[in-house]
Amino acid sequence: MKRILVLALFVLPILVQCTRQNPAPNPGSENSPEQVNQNTQKIVPVKTMELELQSFSDFLEITGTVHARNHIDIVAEEGGILKHVQIDKGSYATQGDVLAVLENRTLEANYKAALASLHQAELDYTSKKVLFDKKAISENEFLTSQYNLEAVQAALEVSKTRYNKLSIAAPVKGLVNNRYYDLGAYVNPLTPIFELIDEEYVIIRAGLAERFLGNIRIGTPVEIIFDAYPDLEVKAEVSFISRSIDPENRTFRIEM
């Protein structure tokens, strides 16, 4: 969507002044009554004022486009069948919201097996500790059960992490702009499922002609007018100026 940008190029001081006209000298004797009367009639009132420094602003009008600051493809870290879509395209999501859920029976089975192993290891450790406190078993047997419990806990954490990745969550808040898979389709690992756009923070990009590069700096004031909203005017500043020129149109990319 095109936008109209108005950039303030430079400010030049000018002086506002007025001139005073003195009456031209008159020939004749200053003591002559007729000459005095004639000079009196030629006096012109003059208003004076102090010189003041004022500013003069010039503007450059260019066209730019609006881009979301955060434009994200949400990737599935684990593969699986797309079973549920909770927030679909065209809807807004906040950070952490679950957008969809994948089904992977292998990961689900591994997670359940890890839970069962943890319960078994906890029971074994508890019983071995009771026996060790009564000096019914050796320290080596007790430590073996303890180390086994720690290993099972670590394995469960890995299995749980992989299983939880089947729930696809929004990393930031924004608009779900697109969904790349249909329900029931198999989603390969590390492939995008959703396109998410953060509409709250946008940047304006435009091409600046080479001849104006010397007049624009970081912080130059910008007035932004939108085609779709002619009554809306946003004030901003130039935040980025590219140092490489586009060879096709001989412009430098700037951002606001």
Weakest-pLDDT range from 1-5, 76-80, 140-144: 1-5
Weakest-pLDDT range from 13-22, 141-150, 174-183: 13-22
Alpha-carbon distance 80 to 99, whole Å?
15
* Whether residue 95 has pLDDT greater than 70: yes
Starting at the earlier edge strand, list the strands of the sheet with 80-85. Answer: 167-169, 98-103, 80-85, 186-187
pLDDT grade for 70, boundaries at 50, 70 and 90: confident
pLDDT grade for 64, boundaries at 50, 70 and 90: confident
Alpha-carbon distance 7 to 95, whole Å?
35
Q: Cβ atoms within 10 A of the Cβ of 191, count?
A: 12
Q: What is the mean pLDDT of the chain?
A: 83
Q: pLDDT at position 14, please? A: 36
- What's the pLDDT tens digit per position in 4-51? 344 433 333 333 333 444 454 555 555 555 554 555 566 778 888 787
What would the mean pLDDT of 90-104 be, rounded to a whole number?
A: 95
pLDDT grade for 152, boundaries at 50, 70 and 90: very high
What would the mean pLDDT of 120-139 be, rounded to a whole number?
A: 93
User: Bigger pLDDT: 152 or 37?
Assistant: 152
73-196: CATH, from 3.40.50.11540, 2.40.50.100, 1.10.287.370, 2.40.10.340: 2.40.50.100
What would the mean pLDDT of 66-84 be, rounded to a whole number?
A: 90
Domain boundaries, the chain: 73-196
Q: pLDDT at position 41, please? A: 60
What would the mean pLDDT of 117-145 be, rounded to a whole number?
A: 93
Q: pLDDT at position 38, please? A: 53
User: Bigger pLDDT: 59 or 157?
Assistant: 157
- What's the pLDDT tens digit per position in 213-229? 888 889 989 888 888 77
Which long-range contacts link 234-243 to residues 24+ away (Cβ below 8 Å)?
Answer: 236/204, 238/7, 239/203, 241/208, 241/213, 241/216, 241/217
Is the entire prediction scored with pTM above 0.75?
no
